[in-house]
Amino acid sequence: MNVLFKLLGAGVSLGAGFLAGKLVDKVWEKSTGHEPPKDADNLENSLRSALAFAVVSATVAAILKVLTERSTQRAIARFHEHPEEV
């Protein structure tokens, strides 16, 4: 059952990461008025904006990773305490 919870946690993490990436892109576009600086070939993006976007994206990804790992661990612990409820 732990493998199932880990796979479920990985799936939730991937889904949350995808949605958060889209959300970060939209928030970046609304707040700056420009598309996110993702394209390395586009020299119109300044280094400052590319670094700022990278920091924001990495911060959101790290927060999501911690939250999904903790949620998975809580679900596993809850299952071990009360397997009849699942």
Q: Give the residue extent of every domain in the chain.
A: 2-81
Q: How far apart are CA 68 and CA 77, in angstroms?
A: 14
Section 52-71 average pLDDT:
90
Confirm whether pTM is higher than 0.85.
no
pLDDT band at 58 (very low <50, low <70, confident <90, very high): very high
Q: How far apart are CA 49 and CA 56, in angstroms?
A: 10
Q: What pLDDT shows up at residue 52?
A: 92
